[in-house]
Amino acid sequence: MKKSLFLILITATVTAVLTLALFLWFMPTLGPRLMHSRMAETMYADMPANMPAGMPGHMMNSAAPAGLDTATTRPTDNGLFRVSFSSDLDPVVINQMHSWTLNVTTADGQPVENATITVDGGMPQHGHGLPTRPQVTGYLGDGNYRVEGLRFQMGGWWEVRFDIATAAGQADAITFNLVLEG
């Protein structure tokens, strides 16, 4: 009786150790993938909810769409403002936290002062949002805004969207496209 209990204990221990060893062995390859598919659940607001099921985003070998507008100065969706960004990290590379300066003017070039701006974004082809929560942390004057906490964790097509609202009640949005190496 005691002997069989001992055998069960040994078997359980060996199984546990082997499982742990296997887990640790595969961790470097599986870990990032698991993390990535978990992030895919936090899609951002504009993301279509009809991503192909069971398709791990990062596995999709998707090139950025042809003719993608990657201009860093563009009019907002409804033409209310004109927005440009410049990145402290130039060129933008993956896996580095960095900041942008966003410049917002009216359509005819007058600086837009003290607007409320929120940041969102993600990878449309992967169905996941940004890995960080970038924020507009200050107004610098002259229509310039500080955007901190940007980081992109993989190469490919990224969207970064800014929702801009003025104190006077005007609101419009812009989405910049970035295609990163990685």
> Quick check: 100 and 152 in contact, CB under 8 A?
no
Give, as one character, the DSSP assignment of residue 165.
Answer: E
Task: Report if residue 178 touches Cu ion, rule: CB under 5 A.
Answer: no
Q: In what order do the strands lie in the sheet with 116-123?
A: 128-129, 116-123, 156-165, 171-180
Find the distance separating the first CA and the last CA of the chain, reported in whole Å: 60
The count of residues interacting with Cu ion (CB under 5 A) is: 3
By C-beta, is 126 or 161 nearer to Cu ion?
126
Residues 11-40 that bind Cu ion (CB under 5 A): none
In angstroms, give the least distance from the CB of 156 to Cu ion: 6
Task: Report if residue 123 touches Cu ion, rule: CB under 5 A.
Answer: yes
Binding part of the chain for Cu ion, among 48-56, 71-79, 81-89, 152-160 by CB under 5 A, reads 152-160
Task: Report if residue 82 touches Cu ion, rule: CB under 5 A.
Answer: no
| The two three-digit tokens of residue 10, written as one number | 């040994």
Rounded Cα–Cα distance for residues 113 and 143 (Å): 5
The interface mask with Cu ion, positions 124-143, x = CB under 5 A, is: --x-----------------
What is the residue whose two structure tokens read 């599986």? 30
In angstroms, give the least distance from the CB of 154 to Cu ion: 5
Return residues touching Cu ion (CB under 5 A). Answer: 123, 126, 154
